[in-house]
Amino acid sequence: MSTPRKPVFKLGWRPLSIWCRGEWSGLRDSGRPVYLGVDVGSVSTNLVLLDAVEPRPCIVWKAYLRTQGAPLTALKNGLELLHDAGAWEICGVGTTGSGRELAGVVLGADVVKNEITAHACAALAIDSGVSTILEIGGQDSKLIILRDGVVVDFAMNTVCAAGTGSFLDQQAFRLGVPIEDLGELALRSRNPVRIAGRCTVFAESDMVHKQQLGVDTADIVAGLCAAMVRNFLGSLAKGKELRPTVFFQGGVAANAGMRRAFEEALGQPVFVPEHYDVMGAVGIALLVREALGGKAVPTRFAGLERVLDSQVASQSYECTGCPNSCEICEVWRDGIFLASWGARCGRQGRTDQTS
């Protein structure tokens, strides 16, 4: 059985603020230099502060919030929690996730990177020998293959929800089981049943059928976890060698039943990092530290007070400037145009600077 190598960086040795309740028991030094990492996803928005003073990076604060279809609102709520947590000197900001461009413009990010890069960076910081990363979030899933600390291949499933956290949420609600108890329930199964996992419709229909047959709920949940793992491996891992060490990241990694199902399918240990739920934010914060740490480069961060006190709005429209018909996204702050993106031809459609 393989074990994780010695971490390159030391993560998670400070008290943390968990979830979005505003609870704080961590470091509150006035004006302490930190780097801010922000991961804006379709289901969750995560923020992490990385200490800028310690020789090795350490997390001093984190927050996990539900995006609920309103990324700007979730981002602002997270920044309010950050503001209430203490007086920080933010030396740099990075954004990642599906909403990275939007968050990057609003915050004035110094580094904007995709979530593949961010998740890989965070995993390598914990274990320099990690070779495989399994990441399952609320609406998508990712497989990242690394060799000698470099991403050499990856695959993403953004089309079907059958193997994602939102599907688990839905089935937990239908079964009347709290989502946080689903994993432990799966571990209590003695005779897992086989559930069709290629499609959400078929999986749910199969689960209902098993319930009508009187199958124990724990066996159904264990079968669901196994089905999701088969879906993940069948969709993303074909033709890929999944070598140890294997990391399991993303919100679904909280489910112990999913971890066991992956271990049984792969025939090797699967490790869940301590901060599995915010690894994207950790990774982008590390990248900011690497880009700005020890360099006389001022941050582009707009400032916490300014972001919180301003009115930020976004809108999208279809550009008619050429046959591409690109969907353009625009961001405005207090009626002033900030940025737009989405044009494949280089033209951004509108040129007016006021709303």
Phi, psi dihedrals of residue 312, rounded to the nearest 5°? -110, 135
**217-236 vs 165-175: helix crossing angle, rounded to 10:** 170
pLDDT in tens, 23-50: 333 445 557 899 999 999 988 999 999 9
Quick one: pLDDT band at residue 355, thresholds 50, 70, 90?
Answer: very low
CA distances from 352 to 171, 180, 311, 315 (A): 47, 49, 19, 14
15 pLDDT more than 80? no
Beta strands at 88-96 and 111-112: parallel, antiparallel or unpaired:
parallel
**How many angstroms separate the Cα of 31 from the Cα of each of 24, 53, 126, 343?**
16, 12, 27, 40
pLDDT score for 211: 84
Task: Tell me the pLDDT tens digit for each residue of 194-226.
Answer: 987 667 777 778 888 888 888 899 999 999 999
| Contacts of residue 277, Cβ cutoff 8 Å, sequence gap at least 6 | 44, 46, 64, 250, 251, 253, 254
pLDDT confidence of residue 20: 30
> Could you read off the pLDDT of 146-190 as tens digits, one per residue?
999 999 999 998 666 667 888 888 888 888 889 889 999 999 999
pLDDT (average), residues 318-329: 83
Check pLDDT > 70 for residue 346: no
pLDDT band at 331 (very low <50, low <70, confident <90, very high): confident
Which residue segments constitute the domains of the chain, with CATH numbers given? 32-125+280-309 (3.30.420.40), 129-272 (3.30.420.40), 311-355 (no CATH)
What is the model's pLDDT at position 328?
Answer: 83
Give the count of beta carbons closer than 10 Å to the beta carbon of residue 173: 11
pLDDT, tens only, 67-107: 888 899 999 999 999 998 888 899 999 999 989 999 999 99
Task: Identify the band that residue 7 occupies on the pLDDT scale cut at 50, 70 and 90.
Answer: very low
